[in-house]
Structure 1
């Protein structure tokens, strides 16, 4: 009735309607929002026609008919049927099968399996429903369990019980999950192939997912030394999921497929980060400043098999991920803004230069030159860790 749809209920008499309209008036005076009578409807049930006409005349609303839709859901006086919700199901399925949702299959994995560490929500929902299954199997002392036993089970064995088609949608869903997880119910207890014992949603979730292969680059991408946006880009590179020209063309996107940095060949991930003249000039400039060799073509393998202390490996990997980010950022500027910065300028920007000038340039052969324990806090002199951290935080 206002900016958003609102449903209000009252008795079907003129007095109740007058009180409702007075409430509208008070609300409008306080907030400045006005009722849109032309877009509002009144629905009646078991109200005499004469009284309906009187209420419509007082309110100025039009008479609506049941069933109607509210926020996409059909509202009717009888129980909803499957076909009544088909339009809503179709919209949800279209969203689930959309381009962005397809890519979520990567994200819904632990990090060591190549994901972003997010839970698979469908599987997690099953694990949470499994808690209800466990409550019934353990015959816990709750009103809901007693109600289920008296209205549905009626003395039947829970693990062998089959729900009828007349049961509610929620109850059929619980029974479906029960059928899926009963293989883990052995000798009166849950055995998730992890640790026998009581039911836990986490154990059930792990049991549903099973054992999956681990990726070798997890420590290279999810490196505590690198910025989160650099880590995320490294994750996309590892999955070859960057929206480069060659990949977008496969989805039917009409875009210039030439590399926006060199303009010589078609843009691919390997060319962009390994073979492009622009990227190689940035790498050469960084090699001069650090005396490190960055083999971009084997970026993930190089990051995984670095030697040295934790500090050395962390900063080297962070620099490699930062290099990928800088190249990708310049590529986007070239595509969108038609602007291209000199590679030597990119390699010498504050985010790189201050970091290197902080003393890491003297780090040859695996040793940090100068500095002491007091320098770690980022003060003046040969401070390494604190200075690097401060520089990265304020310049990226």
Structure 2
């Protein structure tokens, strides 16, 4: 690591004090044996003072840092060639961990499949893996879609719109996906809206469970619609939150609740606070469901009794 400061004793003393504060806070100590100070434009007396204050050796230019020569002069062509050779050796050893996974994958694809061909003209050989054949097939589909664009200028946004199915805009998204909402409840609510949570009815289709009964109430099949908010337990939680927020809702559907919240007129901050509270409720219901599923000592009857007692207050 290289640290730079002005060539005066006050600046150097301040930097050394910062290193000591860092060492006291983190616990990592600066090795005086492996550290050096390089000075320029200072007198020999100042050199001795700084050496005594810091405890570091006074180094001399040039020196090498990460294979690059550091000097007050410009790097010579020979020194540049040494640096280029080192970079080439790292690139050629792409089978090691010198490159990232995506970098090694890209080099492997060009070395094994594409070689000297253009990506647009490449046809996968018969012996190619099914993954590579699938990538090439997707390339052809995207190329056909791009040709359908009316604009001559290629735009990623336009291609994404052609690839994705058209969906109706919702009236609550702008106030829901805002900086006021917590990321985890917001993400869980989004999954619930897309019916992508691993409810017990989905797990039953995967043969991962034998019983799809709701963990919270034990009265019905656990689906997204039941859990948000037809289940007796989740309904009682929702009522507590909405009454606390001053919002009266008789709906038992998450989609309907968010749609009605989006239609609220007036104070925008109040609307956002209500949507954040709904997202937190969805997250709380899902977390309670997971806790009761994983902990056999939790009794759904006891949870319902607690919720009833709270609702009566």
Coarse TM-score class (shorter-chain normalised): 0.3 to 0.5
Q: TM-score, normalised by structure 1?
A: 0.37
